[in-house]
Amino acid sequence: MSAIPYNSIPLVKGLPLVGNLPKFLRDPLANAQSLEVHGNVVRSRTFFETVTLLGPEANQFVLHDREGNFSSRGGWYYWIDAVFPGAIMAMDDPAHKHHRRIMQGAFKRAAMERYVADMGPVIERVVDGWPSGGMKVFPQIKALTLNIAARVFMGMALGPEADRMNQAFIDTVEASLALIRKPVPPFGMWRGVRARRFLVALMRSKLAEKRAAEGPDLFSQLCHARGEDGERFSDDEVVNHMIFLMMAAHDTTTSTLTTMFYCLARHPDWQERLRQDAQALPEAQLRYESLAVCERTEWVMKESLRLYPPLTSIPRKAARDCEFGGFQIPRGTPVGISPIHTHHMPSLWTKPQDFDPERFSPARAEHRRHAYAYLPFGGGAHLCIGQHFADMEVKSVMHQVLRRFRFSVPEGYRMPYQLVPIAKPRDGLPITLQRL
């Protein structure tokens, strides 16, 4: 039987002119769930007409993609190319394969051990300065992850140079998400393009030093990384990758830590369990060898990422004519999958709305019910290269926080959050910290 033509895919029109965009921005989960009523292949208009493919099979079809049906470049170009040219996430094969092989060199075990060792003192210094009493989590975590990046990515000491770089970096990231896509003053894209120029100049000024001797920071590691045949990055490629890596790492990890704070503040029993685990370890700063011991922290991290995945949807463009669910998807069609929707499917998860970290325990392993049931880090060729790095950073921060503080939110508090472009609290997440 031949596939049903594209034009017969159910179309959810939404509001005149803006389509489903307001609904998507307000609540991407509710938006995807309202599309699902029409099936698992649905057309709708957010920024432009997109076909949303829903469920684990759809995720596998799009991300596993051995046939080369989908272009990551086509999906991401519009969003990131102006401020993140040369980003690996917006590359397709063969360029993607070539760059990924070399980049992998900066994430080998020896390098990772040094990253963990280097982030410990930064975390200690920042977290030690947190006040007892009221604190907004989001801005503090944002400052912390920026300072970690300055040290671990760039090899910089904390101070005015790191502060200037952090601000330029914030402007660049904001531009990638700006609604006005032209660099017109005083709007975000203009600030972002200016900030990018600053970052490029800063990194270029340090290239010779980073190339001269291999240091422990990610910048130096990228300069010295080699592919299997000895190939390495050019200067421009190192700079482009550095700027993109900082952005890929920053908001995502900030979001994850913030939602973990929220979940642990609302579930003090879990907070206490994790604190016991942290206190059972002898070290004040987490060591690489202890990462595997933080099993329950890992479940909580996974559960927070299930409920609030920083990337709620993943875009692609059809690179060739293909079919899914009995429908034709012509070359050039914008296609999206929705991790947040899959993470809430009752057919995959027990009581999906509940915070229940033990669903990730070996005994229950709900995330193994389908290879693409759980995908906060994506999957396939573009699977997040920093997944292990994020795990290290989150565990290192939580280890030090839990050993120093107990934290809470008032009874009945619910975090008002925005999920697009990246999950974050609208109120900064006010908590009460109590020094132990």
The footprint of ligand HEM (CB under 6 A) covers 72, 88-89, 100, 245, 248-249, 252-253, 256, 310-311, 314, 376-378, 382, 384-386, 389-390
Q: How far is the CB of 429 from ligand HEM (least distance, A)?
A: 17
Kindly tell me which of 95 and 208 has the beta carbon lying closer to ligand HEM: 95
Query: Quick one: which H or E segment has residue 226?
Result: none
Smallest gap from Cβ 72 to ligand HEM, in A, equals 5
Q: Could you tell me the end-to-end alpha-carbon distance of the chain, in angstroms, rounded to an integer?
A: 67
Q: How far apart are CB 339 and ligand HEM at their closest, in Å?
A: 7
* Closer residue to ligand HEM in complex, CB, 72/328: 72
Q: 107 or 198: whose CB is closer to ligand HEM?
A: 107
CA distance 321 to 406: 55
Closer of 341 and 382 to ligand HEM (Cβ): 382
Q: For residue 207, count other CB atoms closer than 10 A to its CB.
A: 16
Among residues 82 and 257, whose Cβ is nearest to ligand HEM? 257
DSSP string, 395-419: HHHHHHHHHHEEEE--TT----EE-
- State how far the Cα of 395 lies from the Cα of 286, in Å rounded to an integer: 8
Nearest residue to 219 (alpha-carbon basis) of 111, 127, 147 = 111
Nearest to 388 by CA among 199, 111, 158, 175: 111
- In the complex, least distance from residue 59 CB atom to ligand HEM, rounded to whole angstroms: 10
SS3 of 96, please?
helix
Q: What angle do CA 196, 393, 274 make, to 5 degrees?
A: 150
Q: Which residue, 63 or 191, is less far from ligand HEM as judged by CB? A: 63
Taking the complex as a whole, how short is the minimal distance between the CB of residue 90 and ligand HEM, in angstroms?
8
CA within 13 Å, CB half, 78: 11
Which residue from 251, 299, 328 is spatially nearest to 6, judged by alpha carbons?
328
Question: Smallest gap, in angstroms, from Cβ of residue 222 to ligand HEM?
Answer: 11
- Report the candidate in 333, 306, 310, 335 with the shortest Cα–Cα distance to residue 61: 335
Nearest CA to 23 among 43, 41, 45?
Answer: 45
Smallest gap, in angstroms, from Cβ of residue 313 to ligand HEM? Answer: 10
Q: Which is nearer to ligand HEM, 313 or 328 (CB)?
A: 313
- Smallest distance, ligand HEM to C-beta of residue 60, A: 13
Pairing of strands 334-337, 327-329: unpaired
Q: Output 82 or 191, the one with its CB closest to ligand HEM.
A: 82
Q: How far is the CB of 389 from ligand HEM (least distance, A)?
A: 4
The H or E element that residue 287 is part of is none
Nearer to ligand HEM, 74 or 378 (CB): 378
Least distance (Å) from ligand HEM to the CB of residue 362? 22
Would you say 102 or 248 has its CB closer to ligand HEM? 248
3-state class (DSSP) for residue 4 = strand
Residue among 108, 110, 115, 107 nearest 396 (CA): 115
- How far is the C-alpha of 206 from the C-alpha of 235, rounded, in Å? 11
Q: CA 39 to CA 22: how far, in whole Å?
A: 21
**For ligand HEM, the closer CB: 145 or 328:** 145
SS3 at position 132: coil
Residue type for 114, please? R
Residue closest to ligand HEM (Cβ): 386
Q: Are 21 and 45 in contact (CB under 8 A)?
A: yes
The three-state secondary structure class of 211 is helix
Kindly state the smallest distance separating residue 8's Cβ from ligand HEM, in Å.
28
